[in-house]
């Protein structure tokens, strides 16, 4: 694609809603109706013969169900049609091998959501520097946090507009996710240098040029104490519950307080990841990372009865630390952000990058003296430096050698390619 070509992009923007108690009940009812409609549609699909599993027969079944079941009427008709289209799309993804077959949605494990397919029904206006107003079907006019400029009013056009939205409920309450269609110019090639990144627990992101990105605790001292208090309170109240007895409302409120604090920590972590990955994508041309198999890295060391594991508690703590850093989400954010600024993200093989010397290229036992220090034990080298930066330099060196992992037939293979060393490389 030539430089300057205009392309359509679909982006999303999520904002917090300020619903009244009546609005919360209305949104909850719509979400439960959408989940029930999905389950009824799935039951209908399993009951009908293959020749009648068509979009027309399913649409007629949904219309009849909305007439027979009263509480399904709280769901807007367009939202019901969105459930139907999403269900059929789920089967298409299954047939194409992209996902598993759709199943029933549980009340406790399903994210509560409602679709607003038509963007023109939203009627978005900005009323304040920090607040906007949106029209939600069968809920009314609702305020939402204005944290990003949206193509509304005189700024909207055929190419730049809001095509729809989805209401999503999480631990912190109801949010709205706008689907925004924009017409943007293809970004020019990035002129920045290449960089290798090593991810870790002590140092979250270490770059090959010596830069590091670190963060503190996601919760303050008082918030940690409060979280520990509610966790202990939940454990105590759970002990008094008899087997098979229904969970009390008091225990449910305790669980909600715990979930709220954990959601606050997760939101702060996500904000740090967005800010950090945006800074990296703006600065560097090619970002090189390790191809880590994170599910294998966080497996339990418990073992079996015949062969019990060792250091199970220590491995559990390491697994929790790795999961909190969310390395996979960092790579996902870097993937689309580097492309947005004209760069690219490349994955290289991970084995040996932390044990190999970046100066002489040899792996000598005992060089990794500690978690933070690397001292090459190879005779004639003796290079020493930060262990995380050493690993990041090895990651970048693998890319400059022409090693890259590319997906092929559902697996990753190594590709060797000749590459001219850039003038900006160190």
Rounded mean pLDDT, 40-61: 90
Question: Residue written as tokens 């939101």?
Answer: 267
Rounded mean pLDDT, 2-29: 86
Quick one: pLDDT at residue 331?
92
In this predicted model, what pLDDT tens digit does every residue of 195-235 receive, in sequence order? 999 888 888 998 988 889 999 999 999 999 999 999 999 99
In this predicted model, what pLDDT tens digit does every residue of 340-391 receive, in sequence order? 888 999 998 888 888 888 888 777 777 776 778 888 877 778 778 888 888 8
Q: What is the mean pLDDT of the chain?
A: 86
In this predicted model, what pLDDT tens digit does every residue of 276-293 receive, in sequence order? 999 999 999 999 998 888
Q: Both tokens of residue 211?
A: 């830069």
Contact 62, 80 (CB under 8 A): yes
In this predicted model, what pLDDT tens digit does every residue of 290-328 receive, in sequence order? 888 888 888 887 777 777 777 788 888 888 888 888 889
Q: Tell me how far apart the alpha carbons of residues 154 and 161 are, in angstroms, rounded to a whole number.
A: 11
Quick one: pLDDT at residue 4?
58
Q: Tell me how far apart the alpha carbons of residues 57 and 73 are, in angstroms, rounded to a whole number.
A: 20
Rounded mean pLDDT, 111-130: 90
Domain ranges of the chain: 1-186, 190-216+267-426
Residue 174: strand, helix, or coil? strand
In this predicted model, what pLDDT tens digit does every residue of 31-44 receive, in sequence order? 999 999 999 999 99
- Element spanning 197, H or E: strand 195-199
Quick one: pLDDT at residue 240?
81
Burial class (CB in 10 A: 0-12, 13-18, 19+), 273: buried
Q: Is the pLDDT of residue 395 over 70?
A: yes
Q: Tell me how far apart the alpha carbons of residues 310 and 304 are, in angstroms, rounded to a whole number.
A: 11
Quick one: pLDDT at residue 386?
84
Residue 70: strand, helix, or coil? helix
For 393-420, letters b (16+ CB in 10 Å) and e give: bbbbbbbbeebbbeeeeeeeeeeeeeee
Q: Is the pLDDT of residue 162 over 70?
A: yes
Q: Tell me how far apart the alpha carbons of residues 80 and 275 are, in angstroms, rounded to a whole number.
A: 37
Contact 131, 150 (CB under 8 A): no
Contact 218, 265 (CB under 8 A): yes
Q: Tell me how far apart the alpha carbons of residues 313 and 300 are, in angstroms, rounded to a whole number.
A: 9
Q: Tell me how far apart the alpha carbons of residues 364 and 386 are, in angstroms, rounded to a whole number.
A: 16
Share of the chain above pLDDT 70, in %: 93
For residue 407, give the DSSP letter: E
Residue 406 binned pLDDT confidence (cut-offs 50, 70, 90): low
Rounded mean pLDDT, 242-250: 84
Rounded mean pLDDT, 327-336: 91
Quick one: pLDDT at residue 202?
86
Q: How many CB atoms lie within 10 A of CB 160?
A: 16
Q: Is the pLDDT of residue 123 over 50?
A: yes
Q: Is the pLDDT of residue 426 over 50?
A: no
DSSP readout, 302-355?
A: -B-SSSB-SSHHHHHHHHHHHHHHTHHHHHHHHHHHHHHTT-EEEEE--TTTTT
Q: Is the pLDDT of residue 417 over 50?
A: no
């Amino acid at each position: 694609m030539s430089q300057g070509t205009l392309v359509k992009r679909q982006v999303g923007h999520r904002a917090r809603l300020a619903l009244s108690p009546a609005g919360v009940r209305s949104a909850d009812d719509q979400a439960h109706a959408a989940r029930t409609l999905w389950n009824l549609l799935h039951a209908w699909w399993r009951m009908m013969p293959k020749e009648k599993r068509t979009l027309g027969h399913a649409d007629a079944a949904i219309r009849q169900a909305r007439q027979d079941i009263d509480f399904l009427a709280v769901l807007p008709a367009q939202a019901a049609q969105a459930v139907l289209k999403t269900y059929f799309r789920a089967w298409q993804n299954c047939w194409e091998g992209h996902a598993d077959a759709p199943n029933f949605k549980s009340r406790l494990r399903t994210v509560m959501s409602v679709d607003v397919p038509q963007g023109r029904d939203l009627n978005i206006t900005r009323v304040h520097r920090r607040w906007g107003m949106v029209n939600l079907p069968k809920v009314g006019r609702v305020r939402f946090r204005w944290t990003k400029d949206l193509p509304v009013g005189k700024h909207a056009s055929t190419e730049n507009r809001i095509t729809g939205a989805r209401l999503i409920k999480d631990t912190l309450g109801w949010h709205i996710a706008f689907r925004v269609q924009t017409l943007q110019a293809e970004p020019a090639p990035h002129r920045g240098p290449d960089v290798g990144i090593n991810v870790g627990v002590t140092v979250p992101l270490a770059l090959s040029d010596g830069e590091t990105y670190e963060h503190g605790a996601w919760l303050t001292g008082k918030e940690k104490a409060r979280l520990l208090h509610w966790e202990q309170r939940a454990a105590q109240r759970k002990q008094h519950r008899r087997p098979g007895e229904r969970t009390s409302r008091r225990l449910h409120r305790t669980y909600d307080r715990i979930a709220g604090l954990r959601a606050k920590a997760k939101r702060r972590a996500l904000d740090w990841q967005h800010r950090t990955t945006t800074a990296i994508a703006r600065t560097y041309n090619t970002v090189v990372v390790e191809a880590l198999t994170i599910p294998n890295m966080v497996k339990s060391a418990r073992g079996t009865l015949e062969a019990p594991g060792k250091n199970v508690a220590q491995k559990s703590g390491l697994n929790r630390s790795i999961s909190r850093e969310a390395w996979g989400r960092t790579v996902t954010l870097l993937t689309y952000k580097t492309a947005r600024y004209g760069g690219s993200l490349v994955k290289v093989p991970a084995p040996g990058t932390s044990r190999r010397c970046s100066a002489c290229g040899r792996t000598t036992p005992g060089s990794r003296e500690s978690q933070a220090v690397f001292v090459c034990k190879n005779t004639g080298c003796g290079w020493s430096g930060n262990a995380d930066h050493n690993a990041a330099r090895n990651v970048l060196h693998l890319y400059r050698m022409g090693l890259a992992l590319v997906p092929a037939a559902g697996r990753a293979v190594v590709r060797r390619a000749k590459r001219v060393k850039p003038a900006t490389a160190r």
